[in-house]
Every structure is written in structure tokens, then in C-alpha cells.
Amino acid sequence: MARDARGGRPSGPRPRVQVAALAAAGVFLLIGILGYIPGITTDYGELTFAGHHSDARLLGLFQVSILHNAVHLLFGLAGLVLARSVGGARVFLAGGGAIYLVLWLYGLAIEAINPEGGANILPVNDADNWLHLALGFGMLALGLLLSNQAGTGGRLDTPADRP
């Protein structure tokens, strides 16, 4: 692939996995910002720093806290950085998908074991659990299935090239 005149990123369209990672990162940044805006976050006065006692809800549906919003912002920034390369984009999407599947399991376990217990450090509700499940499978699928033709930066290897 040819590089642009300044030696920067290759010219031409970005691989789909990078576009998907950039889009996902942008959504996480937007969600992180919206979580701090009264009106978009209902019961904003009930927003706590961390823990499950925060009664603030993004879009009136998803339980959030200050720390929860900050994590969305950091996750979005990490996605922007990682999306600069095909390999990084794959790591962001597949790794992020795996993280969200673990969060989904965490939410189910907390709900089943003891919602008021000390292990419940994140504000999650049923809407969050369903969203984490969808994000987990969606991001994992995008990271694993997009751009199979594009490598992770090295040259393609064929059996005839091996010593």
C-alpha cells in the first residue's frame, strides 16, 4: 500500500476494522460526555462518584456514576489510539468485546448473589446488562470478522516462503 507524500498513513480507504474501531471509540466518548450532562442524565443530582447507589440514569435508562462515565471516556480514548493500526483496532474491538461479556456476567452474578453487597461496585441494572451483552458480542464479532485480508502490519506469509 502506498504511503502519502509526507510518509504518514497509507493512502486510500482505511480497512473496515479500523473504521469500526473509530466509530465504537467515538460512541464511547459521546456516551461518557453525555453521562455528565443534566437532562440527558436523569436524576443528575443523585449521581455518585462510584458504587451501585447512584440513581442517575443516562437517557433515563442506564444507571451511571462519575467513575462509570470516566471509564467510558477512557475506553473511547484508548479506542482512538488503538484504531490507528489494524492490529490495534482488532485488539480494541475483540478485547473490548471480551471485557463487556465479562461485565455482563458480573451484572448477572451480582443480581443473583447480592445486589446490595460489597462486590457491587458498578452501577448496573437490567438495561446495562442487556447492553453489555450486545456490546460484547458485537465488538467481538467486529474485531474477529472484519478485515481478514488486512494483516497486523507484517507481510503476508505463504507456505512457499517458509524456510
| CB 75 within 8 Å of CB 94 | no
Higher pLDDT: 107 or 17? It is: 17
Rounded Cα distance, 19 and 98, in Å: 19
Q: What is the pLDDT of residues 5-58, one digit of tens each?
A: 555 555 678 899 999 999 999 999 999 999 999 999 999 888 888 777 788 899
Amino acid at 82: L
CA-atom Rg of the chain in angstroms: 19
* Ramachandran quadrant class, 41 (left: phi over 0; alpha: psi -120 to 50; beta: rest): beta
Rounded Cα distance, 104 and 130, in Å: 7
User: How high is the pLDDT of residue 51?
Assistant: 73
| CB 93 within 8 Å of CB 142 | yes
51 alpha carbon, distance to own chain's centre: 20
Cell, residue 157? 506469509
pTM for this structure?
0.79
